[in-house]
Every structure is written in C-alpha cells, then in structure tokens.
C-alpha cells in the first residue's frame, strides 16, 4: 500500500473528538510541512529554474496530476498569469479524468497509465514544453504514463 493511502496513526479516532481536538491535530500535522519543504529546497529550486528556462525559450508549462494533486496543479496554473503578468497560454493544467476530475472524483482515471500519455498528444505537447507531474505518492500510473510520453517527445520533466 502506498504511504499516501495509509491511515495516519495520529488521526485514529478523529471522528470521536471535539472540533477543538480535531483542529489541534490538523494544526500539529501542518507544522510538519515547513521542515519537509526545507529538506526539498534544492529540488524545488531546480524545478523553478526549469520552469523559468522553459518560458524564456518559448515553451509552455503543463501541470498534471490525478485527484487532489491535479486540482492543486489547476490552482497553480490559474494563479501564475495574474500574479506574474504572463500569458495564460504559457501555463496549463490537466487532471486525470478531464474536467470532471476537477470537481468530482473519477477513481479509475488515476490508474490509467496509457491515458496519461495520450493526454499530451491531445494537447499538442512537444519538446519545447515542460511537464510538472504532481503525485503525492510518486507512483500514480496516470502521472507515470505522462512522464514516459513527455520523455519520448524530448520534453523536460519536473516531478
């Protein structure tokens, strides 16, 4: 079982706790995030540089993921143009299952590795572009299929 699918032992019995207790548990979990980010700063910096180089070279950036990971990519792609004053055409996002995967759950779509590759072809993704594959587990078949296809097209990948 993937770590992202395992039960967090600190949240066992959460349904029996008061709202204040639940919020304290969530807050304690949230405090672990800065340390995890600090450890990943070198990799994050590489990703930022790859995005910057891609845009300067005339390529596009595609955020892609399944479920919540894909939805976070949609938020990022939507936020970049108004924040940095760049064309919305430079940043796109795709979620497994298509538009229905943004506001609903299309459970089997994340397990379809072939559709991950096909979606790049459908969106005219090429060697000048950059794929940002988002996967909490690092092993979502949809994201893996997309990375495999992006690699075959000569595109850069941030994962």
Question: Per residue in 117-152, pLDDT tens?
Answer: 888 988 899 999 999 999 888 888 889 999 999 999
Catalytic residue annotation: 79, 110
Q: Is 62 helix (H, G, I), strand (E, B) or coil?
A: strand
Question: Per residue in 36-56, pLDDT tens?
Answer: 999 999 999 999 999 999 999
CATH top-level class of 14-158 = alpha beta
Question: Per residue in 69-119, pLDDT tens?
Answer: 999 999 999 999 999 999 999 999 998 877 767 777 767 667 667 777 888
The answer to whether 140 and 114 are in contact (CB under 8 A) is no
Burial (0-12, 13-18, 19+ Cβ within 10 Å), 132: buried
With CA atoms as reference, report the closest residue to 58 among 122, 152, 130, 132. 130
The answer to whether 156 and 87 are in contact (CB under 8 A) is no
> Residue 95 and residue 135: Cα distance in Å, rounded?
11
Q: Left, alpha or beta for 157 (phi > 0: left; psi -120 to 50: alpha)?
A: beta
Answer with the residue of higher pLDDT: 4 or 72.
72
33 pLDDT band, cuts 50/70/90, is: very high
């Amino acid at each position: 079982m993937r770590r992202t699918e395992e039960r967090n032992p600190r949240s066992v019995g959460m349904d029996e706790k008061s709202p204040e207790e639940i919020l304290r548990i969530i807050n304690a979990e949230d405090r672990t995030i800065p340390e995890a980010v600090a450890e990943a700063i070198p990799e994050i910096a590489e990703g930022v540089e790859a995005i910057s180089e891609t845009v300067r070279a005339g390529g596009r950036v595609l955020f892609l993921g399944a479920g919540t990971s894909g939805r976070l990519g949609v938020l990022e792609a939507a936020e970049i143009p108004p924040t940095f004053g760049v064309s919305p055409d430079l940043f796109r996002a795709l979620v497994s299952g298509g538009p229905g995967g943004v506001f609903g759950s299309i459970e089997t779509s994340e397990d379809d590795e072939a559709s991950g590759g096909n979606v790049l072809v459908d969106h005219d993704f090429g060697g000048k572009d950059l794929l940002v594959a988002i996967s909490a587990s690092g092993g979502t078949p949809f994201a893996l299929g997309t990375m495999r296809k992006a690699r075959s097209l000569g595109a850069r990948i941030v994962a």
